[in-house]
Amino acid sequence: MTRRTSASPLVVALVALPALSSLACSPMDATGSAATDTSGADATPLPVAGRSTVYAPHGLVATSQPLASTAALRILEEGGNAFDAAVAASAVLSLVEPHMTGLGGDLFAIFWSTDEERVVGLDASGRAGARMSPDQIRADGFERVPYQGPGSVTVPGAIAGWAALLDRYGSMSLADVVRPAIDLAEDGFPVSPIIARQWQNQLDLLQDDEGATATYLVDGERAPRAGEWFRNPDFAASLRVIAEQGPSAMYGGELGRRIVAHLDEVGGYLTNDDMAGMEVSWVEPLSVDYRDWTVWELPPAGQGIAALQMLEMLEPLDIAGMGHNSAEYLHHLIEAKKLAFADLARYVSDTDHLEVTPEALLDPEYIERRRALIDPTRAQEQVEPGDAVQQSETVFLVVADDEGNQIAFIHSIFEYFGSGVVVPGTGFVLQNRGAGFTLDDGHPNQVAPGKRPFHTLIPGFVTRNGEPYMAFGVMGGSMQPQGHVQLLLNMFDFGMDPQEAVDAARFRHLGGLRVAMENVTPALRAELEAMGHTITEDWTRTAFGGAQVVVRLDGGGWGGASDARKDGMAVGY
């Protein structure tokens, strides 16, 4: 393998899917984080019938919530491009999926620019506040960086990301593309089923914060039920200010100052200068060749490099010959994941603080040494980093337009409802990305003022022979790299179409010998346990990520898929 480091809606029909191997299909949520619900309340498997791939001649959108998909589609139909539509979808998701994303979060994107004929990366993540030092955190009585609450809040970068993307690549104004979200917030919308269940599971967190209770709970006691209407006029007001004033409203303006003033009262570490200093980074994506395709991921501080390491370790193997979701196949993927994540936990941090370069972690000789550690018959309980994490709640979307632009776009507040802190009257929660830091002295990811934390968010892209092919992603914290690899192998090695590849059952390695699997058969369980794996099915349906995919068709037009483990859909025109 060669290593590189460059640069009218369609109705989704239900069709019977072919047999998908010894693992059955099932829907997904979670991240493995502390607040993840593992009660099994939404652990119903997918039916035998599923969605078919959506095909469209001009443009296509896939998101995790139908209102976001249709808002983005409307932007395309009105003459906007993929970048305009992506921001429109992101704004709507910030409203309708508030436990996953919002105006107080970060975003990343990787995309094909037709004008520039290249893959481009955008990092719109914020930094730690000027007062967020190890000494201050310890003085405040914490033994680790706060996981939630005001002490976990970092500068929210999403609004800066929206503006940067539109300024450089969009064709419409920020005010135009966020109008659908403002209208929905003012008029209200019926809450979708999976979101309603996840929302209800966060009552304790929301009731701990006055602003969160007032914003997100009905009568301060419960979440809105599936099909029940929800309005958020405070969100509409905040977004209208942003539409009128641009990103300066958040970064140095009235909205940002309100955030800082409230955090000062409740124990946060941000200053007005921190907010005013927010800047996005245009980054050069990393890539590796896998068989006939080139797979692109964003560089650190994200975890995309783990997906690339896994692909490099697996590429020389006869993946197809092992059989899809066979014990041999799953074992090799799980062991490769352990090795990649050991490196991730030890070496990945803010790019400005890396001790080991991404190039070194993708070096063919280094990868070969890591691959040699895979025992084909026995699971390793503990894997050390080579010589040379974390969870999160997220939304992911893809858009393609008639000009040939394709974008993979991911936007998150990290944990369910992020920090749990809502500045009264703003209508949105602040992220808890500070939880991505460590307090460990000497670690490259140790918390420090002005530093970006380790990030879980990783949009993905695929080219073939230098031409754009696929924008893709699998949301869900540590599920993301292992989900990326499973999705890609489904298509590249087993010839699945986009929707089949998304629907196929997944595993999620949890740590040590523990592996969660979707509806594993008794025979497969026995084979894997004989190798030393500990198999569990005690996880919610959404624990296995939520994928969205758009592929360019050889004859023109697009094919798209949206994960039934979420509420969303793919639509095109």
pLDDT in tens, 220-263: 999 999 999 999 999 999 999 999 999 999 999 999 999 999 99
Closest CA to 181 of 63, 30, 56, 279: 63
As a whole-number percent, the residues of the chain with pLDDT over 70 amount to 87
Indicate the pLDDT class of residue 383, thresholds 50, 70 and 90. confident
Report residue 429 as tokens: 């929660």
DSSP three-state, residue 304:
helix
- Residue 384: predicted pLDDT: 65
Question: In this structure, are residues 119 and 7 in contact, taking their beta carbons and an 8 Å threshold?
Answer: yes
- Residue 41: predicted pLDDT: 35
Question: For 233-289, where are the alpha helices, taking DSSP H only?
Answer: 233-245, 254-266, 272-276
Q: Which amino acid is located at 62 in the chain? A: A
Residue 458 predicted with pLDDT over 90? no
- Residue 36: predicted pLDDT: 36
Question: In this structure, are residues 23 and 327 in contact, taking their beta carbons and an 8 Å threshold?
Answer: no
CA distance 562 to 498: 9
Report residue 502 as tokens: 């998304």
Q: What's the chain's average pLDDT?
A: 88
Question: In this structure, are residues 126 and 269 in contact, taking their beta carbons and an 8 Å threshold?
Answer: no
Mean pLDDT calculated for residue range 215-220:
96
Q: pTM of the prediction? A: 0.87
- Residue 198: predicted pLDDT: 93
- Residue 361: predicted pLDDT: 87
Using alpha carbons, list the distances in angstroms from residue 360 to 3, 177, 285, 343: 10, 41, 15, 11
Residue ranges per structural domain of the chain? 3-283+391-572
Give the active site residues: 394
Work out the burial of residue 505: count CB atoms within 10 Å of its CB; fewer than 13 is exposed, 13-18 middle, 19 or more buried. buried
Indicate the pLDDT class of residue 12, thresholds 50, 70 and 90. very low
Tens-digit pLDDT profile for residues 82-107: 999 999 999 999 999 999 999 999 99
Q: How many helices (H) and strands (E) does the chain have?
A: 19, 22
Tens-digit pLDDT profile for residues 339-367: 998 888 777 655 666 667 888 888 899 89
Q: Picking from 12-26, 101-115, 299-313, 550-564, which range would have the lowest pLDDT averaged per residue? A: 12-26
Residue spans of beta strands (DSSP E) within 96-222: 106-113, 118-124, 189-190
Residue 44 predicted with pLDDT over 90? no
- Residue 542: predicted pLDDT: 63
- Residue 386: predicted pLDDT: 52
Mean pLDDT calculated for residue range 548-569:
95
Tens-digit pLDDT profile for residues 400-420: 999 999 999 999 999 999 999
CB-based burial, 258-279: b 16+ in 10 Å, e otherwise: bbbebbeeeebbbbbebbbebe
Tens-digit pLDDT profile for residues 162-197: 999 999 999 999 999 999 999 999 999 999 999 999
As a whole-number percent, the residues of the chain with pLDDT over 90 amount to 77
Indicate the pLDDT class of residue 538, thresholds 50, 70 and 90. low
CA distance 82 to 170: 8
Provide the terminal-to-terminal Cα distance of the chain, rounded to the nearest Å.
Answer: 38
Mean pLDDT calculated for residue range 468-497:
94
CATH of 3-283+391-572, one of 3.30.590.10, 3.60.20.40, 2.60.40.3950, 3.40.50.720: 3.60.20.40
Residue 8 predicted with pLDDT over 80? no
Residue 1 predicted with pLDDT over 80? no
